[in-house]
Structure 1
Amino acid sequence: MTITRRLGNNYSDATKNRMVDVGSYLPFEEESNLARTGSSLYFDEDDDLPVLDGAAALVPVYASVIDNIYPEGCVTYEGGKFSDDNKFGENFASDSVMQFQNTVRGYNALVEGSVDLFFTTHPSREQLDYAKDMDVELEIVPIGLEAFVFFVNADNPVENLSIDQIRGIYRGNIKNWNEVEGPDRLVNPLLRIKGSGSQTMMETFMEGDMISRRDPLSIFGGAIGYSFRFYLAGMVANDNVKMLSVNGIYPNAENIKNGSYPISANFYVVYRKDNNNENIIKLVNWLQSDEGQNMIEACGYVGGSHR
């Protein structure tokens, strides 16, 4: 998933074109970057294994679930081995328990029944409407916390923005960094794809009132973007990017967990209520247990949720 475009000068070059390196999170591969915390729940090859998919930002979570609980051999690839030579960085076979279709396609696959559990931020209104139109009821279960963060190029001297300032930027009212104690450069507010988890979160944060396109001249200014903390800092880390404090609070794990960082949100596992695979409930209950929460934190996220 692309966070931003590579833009024309040092302040705007917030990140390179980045896709999630799914190859770093493959279950049962020795060098994979997974949380191998162990589990008292274990599925064997004769069980009805739930098929897992999720947002790009949550690949480490559901891949770690498979690695800890599922039997080897259940993650399969078209052509027999993993390849990152396609648009989405994956080639999981149709019978694989791990899929990576990203938020828009993966959510549709959940509603249509080819995926059993989908790991995601809260579905958008359009996604919920799609499920309703398909006469599908969903169970949406919180399993952890993540910070929604804003980031700029490391050379930008701005370290902190208030919520009002961020909203001012993304409503087109603040157009120059010097209005927020920064350099005399235009602000280039980057936007995300409609239906992505980060865009849905941004629309919620902006209370439905935000720009839909950028001033063409802003590409010559300094960029600001938004994403989720671990996706930015852990999965597509870039030394040329820095996360901003918001209202004077930096988005680290401690400040997310104690509630002081002001823009934190649940992430969820979602399933169809009419899915009669009994292992779905077992897996959801495990994710909410101490073992599951320990695994989520070992992945680099924050356990717990806002109830």
Structure 2
Amino acid sequence: MVSSQNGYVYTWIILIAILITGNLYLLGVNSKLPKIGKVLVPLFTLTVPLAGYGGYEAYINHIEIKDAEVDLTVYEPFKRGSKAASLEEASSFSVSGNVPRMDGATALYPVIASFVQAVYTEGDYPHDNTSQSPVAASKTDVAYVRLAKRDVDIIFAAGPSQDQKSDMKNLEMTPIGKEAFVFFVHKSNPVDSLTIEELQGIYSGKITSWNEVGGSDKEIIAFQRPEGSGSQTGLQNMMGEIPIMEPPADQQVDGMGGVIEKASDYRNYRNAIGFSYRFFATNMVDSKGIKLLKIDNVEPDTEGIQSGNYPLTGEFYAVTNGTNNPQVEPFIDWITSGQGQELIQKNRLCSDSLMEGEKK
């Protein structure tokens, strides 16, 4: 199957093959070949490069990991068999009528779906249809754009980037839980732990080989995420004032026929490193052959996050930008209460105000 992203490569292969075949004909080489050669030479000129590049692309697709591989449909509230977490008792709070419009980070959609299932009226809330559903998961960058336009009342996400902050007129951020910002590598990589300083060295481009941090003598391929995404903002926060190097990039044809570049999705080479939030990364670990790195020898597990010992623990927030919906404030109060925090814990995230297993 031809990739839409790399279709231009196949086009060039075909054009070059036609050009070579035409030159052979014009130069008279074709006439000197036996009958079978006149058929096989053009055929091999076309099929061998196509097969070679097709095999390469299949390999890349096999090792590429995209956040979209987490199927959010299975978390949609009120659906039979939904994975959205539920309370054991009826919620002490509910919304009706003009319900709060919500959006947020993809990684936090299971939490959002759990809230909806607890306090909204039963119904159909497709996560990917903003025109029909008051509840969506448009990813962090899009969610902040929608909040800036006041197309939604609340978003659930990590803190905004500086550019995203500048778009808000009445920004309010209520911390509702904690999540780990994690780095991962191929499971065969001998490196199990990195320090913050080593990570900063890698992503600034100063550390370029794994043998500089206790690994093999292989070049480090340090993947990044698109600008404005929650995880890229997490990297920027970790780097502070240290400049981030250019990411590995894919080339693709834009609508005007030019070639543009985009940050590559993480590809699980044996010498690669990538980052995300724990929700995505733990889903990847289940089937994608990666392992999470310790940071300063601390595991990114519930204990490390809740205690604050894991150094890249960050808050995630209920974020508003001014709203006329009177149900928003009591809804956020409920989220920070015992029942809301219980749902956060049931989603394998760490509550902001409660220790593990403890309730208000």
What TM-score range do you get, normalising by the shorter chain? Answer: 0.7 to 0.9
The structure carrying a bigger helix percent of its residues is 2
Q: 2:268 matched to 1:231? A: no
- Supply the AA of the counterpart residue of 1:267: F
How do residues 256-295 of structure 1 correspond to structure 2 at under 5 angstroms?
A: 256-273=305-322, 275-295=323-343
Against the structure 1 CA distance between its residues 258 and 91, is the aligned structure 2 distance closer, same or farther, given a 3 Å change threshold? closer
Q: Which runs of 4+ in 1 moved over 6 A?
A: none
Q: 2:103 matched to 1:53? A: yes
Question: 2:170, 2:247 → 1: CA distance?
Answer: 37
5+ residue gaps, structure 2: 1-55, 250-266, 355-360
Q: What is the DSSP-based 3-state SS (H/G/I as helix, E as strand, rest coil) of the residue aligned with 1:266?
A: strand
Identify the residue that residue 43 of structure 1 maps to in structure 2. 95
Give me the identity figure in percent: 35
Question: 2:110, 2:248 → 1: CA distance?
Answer: 36
Identify the residue that residue 8 of structure 2 maps to in structure 1. none
How do residues 232-247 of structure 1 correspond to structure 2 at under 5 angstroms?
A: 232-234=281-283, 237-247=286-296
Number of residue equivalences: 277
Q: What is the DSSP-based 3-state SS (H/G/I as helix, E as strand, rest coil) of the residue aligned with 1:209?
A: coil
Q: What is the DSSP-based 3-state SS (H/G/I as helix, E as strand, rest coil) of the residue aligned with 1:278?
A: coil
CA contact (8 A) 1:149 1:244 kept: yes
Identify the residue that residue 84 of structure 1 maps to in structure 2. none
Against the structure 1 CA distance between its residues 173 and 34, is the aligned structure 2 distance closer, same or farther, given a 3 Å change threshold? same
Q: What is the DSSP-based 3-state SS (H/G/I as helix, E as strand, rest coil) of the residue aligned with 1:108?
A: helix
Identify the residue that residue 123 of structure 1 maps to in structure 2. 160
Question: 1:195, 1:186 → 2: CA distance?
Answer: 27
TM-score (norm 1): 0.83
Q: 2:244 matched to 1:211? A: yes
- Between 291-300 and 65-74, report the one with greater CA deviation: 65-74
Identify the residue that residue 140 of structure 1 maps to in structure 2. 173
Question: 2:310, 2:240 → 1: CA distance?
Answer: 19
Question: 1:262, 1:103 → 2: CA distance?
Answer: 22
CA contact (8 A) 1:149 1:226 kept: yes
The structure whose RCO (Cα within 8 Å, separation 6+) is larger is: 1
* Larger Rg computed on CA atoms: 2
CA contact (8 A) 1:15 1:240 kept: no
CA contact (8 A) 1:14 1:241 kept: no
CA contact (8 A) 1:150 1:244 kept: yes
Q: 2:152 matched to 1:149? A: no
Against the structure 1 CA distance between its residues 257 and 15, is the aligned structure 2 distance closer, same or farther, given a 3 Å change threshold? farther
Question: 2:353, 2:245 → 1: CA distance?
Answer: 31
TM-score (norm 2): 0.71
5+ residue gaps, structure 1: 1-6, 78-89
Question: 2:205, 2:147 → 1: CA distance?
Answer: 36
Identify the residue that residue 111 of structure 1 maps to in structure 2. 148
Identify the residue that residue 193 of structure 2 maps to in structure 1. 160
Question: 1:156, 1:108 → 2: CA distance?
Answer: 38
Against the structure 1 CA distance between its residues 144 and 235, is the aligned structure 2 distance closer, same or farther, given a 3 Å change threshold? farther
- Supply the AA of the counterpart residue of 2:316: F
Identify the residue that residue 101 of structure 1 maps to in structure 2. 138
Query: Per-residue displacement from partner, 1:190-246 (whole Å, max 9, x unpaired)?
Result: 111100011111101001323331479xx9871101111122114784340100001
Question: 1:104, 1:51 → 2: CA distance?
Answer: 17
Deviation at 1:39, TM superposition (A): 1.6
